[in-house]
Amino acid sequence: MIRVLLFAELEDAAGARELDLSLEEGTVSDVRAILKEKHPNLNAIDQAMPAVNEEYANGDDKVKAGDTIAFIPPVSGG
C-alpha cells in the first residue's frame, strides 16, 4: 500500500486529501499515471511536483509499499 497526498486544487478535484494505492513497487510516474486513470479530473497533477516521504522527487524515482507520495501544486505561501 502506498499513501498518496493531494493538496489545494488537487484535493478539491479528487474530493480527498489522502488516498491509498494498492501498489507494491513502482515509480513516481507510475503513481501519477494510475491516479489520472482513476480520477480523470486530476489532470492538474501534471503541473504538480512529486515528493516522496517529504522530499521532492523525480518521475523515475522509486516508490514502494509504506512510502508516502505527495503531489504539490505550485505553491503560494508568504
Partner 1 sequence: MVFKITDAPIDVGRVIEQVEDRNAGAINTFIGTVREMTKGKRTLYLKYDAYVPMAEKKLAQIGDEIIQKFPDAKVSIVHRIGELAISDVAVVIAVSTPHRGDSFDGCRYAIERIKEIVPIWKKEHWEDGTKWIGDQRETTAYPSGKPRKEDLI
Binder to partner 1 among 7, 21, 30, 34 (CB under 8 A)? 7
- Shortest CB 32 distance to partner 1, Å: 7
Of 4, 2, 6, nearest to 48 (Cα)? Answer: 6
- Shortest CB 72 distance to partner 1, Å: 5
Maximal C-alpha separation, the chain? 37
Query: Any contact of residue 2 with partner 1 (CB under 8 A)?
Result: no
Q: Which residues pair with 51 in a beta bridge?
A: 56, 70
**Site residues (CB under 8 A) for partner 1, limited to 16-75:** 32, 45-51, 54-56, 58-59, 70, 72-75
Of 60, 62, 10, nearest to 36 (Cα)? Answer: 10
What number of CA atoms fall less than 13 Å from residue 43's CA on the CB side?
2
Contact positions vs partner 1 (CB under 8 A): 5, 7-9, 12, 32, 45-51, 54-56, 58-59, 70, 72-78
